[in-house]
Chains A and B, each alone.
Chain A
Amino acid sequence: MTSTSAQESASPATPMQLLLRRFLRNRVATAAALLLLLLILVALLAPVLSPQNPYDLSMVSFMDAEQPPGGVSVAHQMHFWLGSDGAGRDILSSILYGLRISLGIGLASAVVALFFGTCIGLLAAYAGGRVDAMLMRIVDIQLSIPTVLVALILLAALGQGVDKTLMALVLVQWATFARNVRGVAQVERGKEYVEAALGQGLPARYVMLRHVLPNCMAPLIVTTTNQIASAITLEATMSFLGIGLPQTRPSLGLLISNGFDYMLSNQYWISVFPGLALVLLVVSISLVGDQLRVALNPKLDL
């Protein structure tokens, strides 16, 4: 054992290994990362793992409606480990499929917003002056209004649907990315290596993308992680209010909303378990994001 660890410390670690080592120092964050991996895996494998396909009406029977957790179905030989909802769907299966949708929407919207936000942020940092002032003014205004309100306006204007929810989430998030990228890129732009690259006669676009952008990566990774969490929360909130996703593809937020009326008669499982899945998902993502921020910052010596 001692010889291998000596070998490890002798060979220079790659940045990735260093990052991993720094990340794993926090036990809570490590647990959160493992949980997150598990949730992603379970969401990807939902069709294989779930006992029932909640979208397949031939498998769902009204006879099984409102079964408490652990109940047995009448028609099909199966257990409802987390109970069943008002239409006889297995809650566990609905959660697995809902996780897919929530995660998918969160990831997709954050990545698209990342792309647009980065472009705009880089443009502002590169152009400076009037363009910068105007773009940042727009960002300021948007960020001063709560995301819930912006999303509500957009969804009221655009209407319901998966594509519209995605669009609204992207429009809510781009400003955060733009502000972050612009902040970092502006600092980098003043540094000597950028001067040198520009002085060599390299085109500005090339310098921004090949030299400045890679140095913005660390804060961008952290922002993206946190934005995925907030996108998932916002989507769930909008779906809960009934102005997000359509009923045909229920995300976790919609599942919670569907169980709300049953909760008042103490049939808690229809709402509580999807909610628990949502909370685990969002909290684990933000804990991972927090620890990434610590691990990616070389100034914070652990």
Chain B
Amino acid sequence: MIEMLVKRTQQSLLVVFIMSLIAFVGINLVGNPIYLLVAPDATSVEIAQAAHTLGLDLPVYQQYGRFLFNALHGDLGNSFVFNQPAVSLIIERMPATFELALMATLLSFFIGVPLGMWAGLRPGSKVHKLTMGLSILGVTIPSFWLGLILILVFAVNLGWFPSGGRGPTTNLFGIPVSFLNLEGLRFLCLPAMTLALHNIALVMRMTEAGTREVAVQEYIKFARAKGVGAIRLMLRHVAPNVMIPIITMMGLEFGHLIAFSLITETIFAWPGMGKLIVDSVLQLDRPVVVAYLMVVLILFVLINFVVDVLYLILDPRLRSRSQ
């Protein structure tokens, strides 16, 4: 067990290291950002000076060495555009993105699971066909297109929700959040729905498949024969046996939501780290791009690591195989 953990940790660290190398070297191949930073009428001497102070005149491997050394000290460089530490820029925007992703996770759970169960208990019925058809649409429709339609219908035409921005926030333990006041919640609705769509469909399909499998088991028939009501049957007998893979998937999908939020945030002008990265890519703000990638990759590796460890703890078969 301990051996597995050490091995897994080593692997994770290796992944982060390789990714940092690829991201850094890759990003360094893009056009020279120095021209964005100096005044348009700067002389070549001034340009050289600016490049020197930013360390852009060093060879790539030396730049990477400096980057790695600083990164291990928690410093991923200063943003060229904001002239602030890239890490603090990202951390500033992190709560907004996390709130969005969390909201989307909750939405996908509370919409996907009931619908999936409902459909799974009635295979072949109209409800079943409708929900499965919708779930295919949900998986295939590009999320940015859905965001646009939601804006068009609910913001532009009906005016129920604002079309973008984050609105007022309330402080919770010093972190600004939107969901604690009604106005902020209105700003949260459309982006969270856009981000959640894909996951709602996924959760729905998984729940449907799981429920169909469980519904024909003997213990369900026995519970029915005993006279257990439909709701109690669902909650006490079906749900616990269907939930484990779904909760695992939702945990893994959380990282994906963070990544996908860059699309949603751009559409809704949501001030999270996803919008920051898209802006930074367009402005060739290298340190922010690299810092974002590192933060998100570490997040990913962490999530995968935790899920793997939980599996080891939960599933005795995996443990015996590793020995």
The interface of chain A, by Cβ under 8 A from chain B, is 28, 141, 144-146, 148-149, 152-159, 229, 233, 236-237, 240-243, 256, 260, 263-266, 268, 271-272, 275, 278-279, 282-283, 286-287, 290
Contact = CB atoms under 8 A, between A and B. Distances in A.
A156 B281 contact: yes
A183 to B, nearest CB: 19
A146 B26 contact: no
A28 B29 CA distance: 47
Interface of B: 15, 22-23, 26-27, 29-31, 133, 136-137, 139-145, 148-149, 151-152, 156-157, 163, 255-256, 259-260, 262-263, 266-267, 277-278, 281-282, 289, 293, 296-297, 300, 304
B152 A268 contact: yes
Contacts of A156: 26-27, 30, 281, 289
A157 B289 CA distance: 10
Contact of B144 (A159, A237, A272, A282): A237
Interface of A is mostly: helix
Chief secondary structure at chain B's binding surface: helix
A157 B133 CA distance: 38
A98 to B, nearest CB: 14
B27 to A, nearest CB: 6
Contacts of A268: 152, 156
B296 A290 contact: no
Contacts of B151: 263-264
Contact of B29 (A157, A229, A242): A157
Q: Which of B139, B143, B152 has the most CB of A within 10 A?
A: B152
Contacts of B278: 152, 241-243
Contacts of A148: 259-260, 262-263
Given A144-B300, A154-B26, 17 more contacts: A146-B259, A152-B277, A153-B23, A153-B26, A157-B23, A157-B26, A157-B30, A158-B29, A236-B144, A237-B142, A240-B263, A260-B148, A263-B152, A275-B145, A278-B142, A282-B142, A286-B136
A100 B282 CA distance: 26
B304 A144 contact: yes
B304 to A, nearest CB: 6
Contacts of A154: 26
Contacts of A279: 140-142, 145
A82 to B, nearest CB: 16
Given A146-B260, A153-B293, A243 B281 contact: yes
A146 B137 CA distance: 20
Contact of B282 (A149, A242, A263, A290): A242
A159 B139 CA distance: 29
A263 B141 contact: no
Contacts of B263: 148, 237, 240-241
Contact of B149 (A146, A265, A272, A287): A272
B152 A157 contact: no
Nearest to B267: A260
Contacts of B139: 286
Contacts of A275: 145, 148-149
B136 A272 contact: no
B163 A256 contact: no
B31 A159 contact: yes
A75 B84 CA distance: 53
B259 A149 contact: yes
Contacts of B27: 153, 156-157
A236 B145 CA distance: 10
Contacts of A282: 140-142
A286 B30 contact: no
Nearest to A275: B145
B322 to A, nearest CB: 15
A111 B267 CA distance: 31
A257 to B, nearest CB: 9
A229 B140 CA distance: 8
Contact of A149 (B22, B296, B304): B296
Contacts of A153: 22-23, 26-27, 293
Contact of A256 (B145, B156, B289): B145
A152 B281 contact: yes
Contacts of B266: 241
A157 B281 CA distance: 9
Nearest 3 Cβ contacts at the A-B interface = A157-B26, A146-B259, A149-B259
B225 to A, nearest CB: 32
Nearest to B286: A156
A120 B149 CA distance: 41
B266 to A, nearest CB: 6
A141 B19 CA distance: 10
A292 B259 CA distance: 31
Given A152-B277, A154-B26, A236 B152 contact: no
Nearest to A282: B140
B38 to A, nearest CB: 21
Contacts of B157: 266
